[in-house]
Structure 1
């Protein structure tokens, strides 16, 4: 019983964090958002996303990026649009993890990616799709998002829609 109370408390605390990410004016043909916060306790955010996913039987998305990264901002911007928010919100729990500048040896939170089998962050964003149990489902494509800002809205939408049934 105590475990259920703790999970309920964690879920209640996490719901406000799962709110909408503000969308900013696009620098190109896509919206942008800056949800990456280096001061956040990334391990806690990931643990909460995984706990919510397990409770709701949704999948989790861990977006490992940074506000300095055009592609990270672009993907986060798409996620914040109504079209994506509706689909993602019904199928996924999302956590944004700030990774700093891993390509320059100034990375942070890389241990989170390593926990799921991604040895290093070679580009940002790196996007992990996890089962409700926390198993990595997109090991081959997780590091391929460093061109997210140049991908089409429909391609991005289709990628994430394909991981779960409606």
Structure 2
């Protein structure tokens, strides 16, 4: 009997660097198990460029990757991702490997200088848009894959953890 491989797993295998750090095992199996209400992770009044610069400096000093999470509190996938970042098993992994900064992009009409700095000059194609950056070189590490979690609610919690882990070496 043939077994079908989930599309999210195929995508992970296709884009996963061979020397990536293993993802943490996620204890929950669906998003209903996240704490509710889901977080509203984007500060609409934050000075985005200052926040990104500070997060980049912290990431560089701590030898972590910089994860710039572009989204809005109106976005269910963004809020699910925020809830996942608060999930203890993923939080430990993220705290070890990433410095996360959230940037409110409104309805794709705010703080667009941040994605433009990394070569995303066109309209953002979805939310959340995740920029994984090497803080030493300020280079985008995931071009072509920045909106991979824009449909997070169609994924499993483990698939999200697997996607985030593939960029860590």
TM-score band w.r.t. shorter chain: 0.7 to 0.9
Match of 2:28 in 1: none
Match of 1:112 in 2: 114
1:58 equivalent to 2:64? Answer yes
- CA contact under 8 A between 1:30 and 1:74: conserved in structure 2? no
Question: How much does 1:161 deviate?
Answer: 1.2
SS at match of 2:147: helix
Question: How much does 1:30 deviate?
Answer: 5.5
Question: How big is each residue's C-alpha offset from its partner over 1:17-55, in whole Å with a ceiling of 9 and x where there is no partner?
Answer: xxxxxxxxxxx5353221101101111110011001111
- CA contact under 8 A between 1:30 and 1:149: conserved in structure 2? no
1:76 to 82, 85, 109: 82
- CA contact under 8 A between 2:67 and 2:98: conserved in structure 1? yes
- CA contact under 8 A between 2:149 and 2:160: conserved in structure 1? no
2:46 to 10, 26, 40: 40
Match of 2:18 in 1: none
TM-score (norm. length: structure 1): 0.77
Question: How big is each residue's C-alpha offset from its partner over 1:54-75, in whole Å with a ceiling of 9 and x where there is no partner?
Answer: 1111101000000000011011
1:154 equivalent to 2:152? Answer no
Question: How much does 1:81 deviate?
Answer: 0.8
Question: How big is each residue's C-alpha offset from its partner over 1:99-158, in whole Å with a ceiling of 9 and x where there is no partner?
Answer: 0002xxxx1011100101112312111001111222101111102322012211111101
Whichever structure has more helix as a proportion of its residues is 1
1:94 equivalent to 2:100? Answer yes
In the aligned structure 1, how far is the partner of 2:91 from the partner of 2:72? 20
User: Which one has more relative contact order, counting CA pairs under 8 Å at least 6 apart?
Assistant: 2
SS at match of 1:138: coil
TM-score (norm. length: structure 2): 0.75
- CA contact under 8 A between 1:36 and 1:66: conserved in structure 2? yes
Quote the RMSD (CA, aligned, Å): 1.3
Q: Runs of 4 or more off by more than 3 Å in structure 1?
A: none
